[in-house]
Structure 1
Amino acid sequence: MSSNAYGAAKAAAWSLTNGVRLELAGQGTLVTGLHLGVADTDMSADYVGDKVDPTEIARVGLDGIEAGRLEVLADEWSRHVKASLAADPSAFYTSLAGH
């Protein structure tokens, strides 16, 4: 899968999570979105860059659910992406050049 297709799939999943959260809110169901950049798994074995230990992702996710959070941003990359959503898109692409 190309990185563009993977990124589009992650964005779609983020949007779907928001929609499901709205649909289930009336019955009191908590839907927590867990977002991350790259976990250190077999799937990312060939990826060169920062990776997060899957155990840490699980811990952060469960902590977020226990705290009743709607979203859990599990690593620095997901926090960077989330923060950039409201900003001028050119700033995001400029920051990628530094990666």
Structure 2
Amino acid sequence: FRLAHISDVHLGPLPGVTYRELASKRVVGYVNWQRNRRRHMHDAVIDTIVADLKASQPDHLAVTGDLVNLALDGEIEMARHWLETLGSPDDVSVVP
């Protein structure tokens, strides 16, 4: 049995953000994204990692940790679409 594991993908880019959505600690996450993560955590990086994982032909894929950055509705929808590209629910487990 071959298990592939990927963690803390922090999918991006961030959707449009309103000031109201930045209330609470989201503002810290937003600043962190703008200053650091957006340069390193972009589609090309995660696509390369996923392609490599799929090339190893795992029997199952485990996705753990943070899928998104600020838990905005748009990010959750983007994460759902991304998870669907990984495979069927029988072959992919998610523990955020």
Q: Which has the higher helix share?
A: 1
TM-score for the superposition, normalised by structure 1: 0.30
TM-score for the superposition, normalised by structure 2: 0.31
* Structure with higher RCO (Cα < 8 A, 6+ apart): 2
